[in-house]
């Protein structure tokens, strides 16, 4: 069966005013996006290199004291939380030690129970109260910097004696202004994609720096 003909028969209006695709324009958009991504990273790393090193030193110290790391985020940032946890627990480079790291976005049953019973702003906080100890490290990802459930978890973490690292974008939002966040790494662009791409590169570098320090 010809799916295109079937669709044309069912939805004849789809072919009306159909314009020819401008391949050169699309190719140009690819190169522009790459250039924008490279520039966002260059600007970010030039401004935050010392903060990244401080974050690596904080994490290395945590592991030297037999501490544990935690990560959190919403949506695409939840994927970053999962990714960084996997990098540390399952090192891809031969000879690197596996390091304890809990992804707070992984337990769907607990998160939905907490969200249903007391509200979504508590989904990470409640887990920290059960799992974290003094001198552990909490990392939070938010492209806007304004996620309330991250802010509450950071506040809880500081009360418990944890060190905290925030990954944010745009102006940094509430996370950048919070006294509960020790180090805030802000990618100053309004593009969520560029922010997430820069976050990804940053925690790959952090992972390598931590192992070098250890």
Q: What is the pTM of this model?
A: 0.90
Residue 73: inside a domain: yes
Instruction: Kindly state whether residue 188 falls inside one of the protein's structural domains.
Output: yes
Boundaries of domain holding 189: 20-213
Q: Is residue 14, in this structure, part of any structural domain at all?
A: no
Lowest mean pLDDT among 89-98, 114-123, 134-143: 89-98
The whole-number pLDDT of residue 191 equals: 97
Query: With 80 as the cut, is the pLDDT of residue 4 above it?
Result: no
Q: Which of 118, 133, 131, 124 is nearest to 155 (CA)?
A: 124
Residue with the bigger pLDDT between 136 and 9: it is 136
Longest C-alpha distance within the chain, in Å?
68
Q: What is the mean pLDDT of the chain?
A: 94
Domain membership of residue 10 (yes or no) is no
Query: How many folded domains does the chain comprise?
Result: 1
d(CA 171, CA 151): 16
Instruction: Tell me the mean pLDDT in the region 68-78.
Output: 98
- Indicate whether 125 pLDDT > 80: yes
- Residues 183 and 181: their CA atoms lie apart, in Å, by 6
CA distances from 113 to 3, 90, 126, 128, 150 (A): 44, 29, 11, 15, 17
What CATH code is carried by the domain that includes residue 191? 3.40.50.10490
- Residue 15 is assigned to a structural domain of this protein: no
* pLDDT over 90, % of the chain: 87
């Amino acid at each position: 069966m010809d799916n295109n003909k079937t669709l044309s028969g069912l939805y004849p209006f789809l072919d009306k005013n159909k314009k020819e695709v401008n391949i050169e324009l699309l190719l140009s958009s690819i190169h522009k996006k790459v250039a924008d991504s490279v520039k966002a990273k260059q600007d970010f790393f030039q401004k935050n290199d010392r903060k990244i090193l401080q974050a690596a030193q904080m994490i290395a110290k945590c592991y030297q004291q037999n501490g544990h790391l935690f990560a959190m985020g919403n949506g695409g940032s939840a994927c970053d939380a999962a990714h960084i946890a996997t990098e540390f627990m399952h090192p891809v480079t031969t000879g690197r030690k596996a390091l304890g790291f809990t992804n707070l976005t992984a337990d769907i049953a607990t998160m939905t129970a907490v969200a249903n019973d007391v509200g979504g702003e508590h989904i990470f906080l409640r887990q920290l109260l059960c799992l974290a100890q003094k001198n552990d490290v909490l990392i939070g990802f938010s492209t806007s910097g304004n996620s309330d459930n991250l802010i509450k978890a950071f506040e809880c973490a500081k009360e418990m004696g944890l060190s905290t690292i925030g990954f944010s974008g745009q102006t940094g939002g509430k996370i950048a202004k919070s006294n509960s966040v020790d180090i805030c790494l802000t990618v100053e662009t309004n593009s969520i994609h560029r922010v997430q791409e820069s976050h990804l590169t940053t925690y790959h570098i952090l992972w390598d720096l931590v192992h070098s320090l250890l």
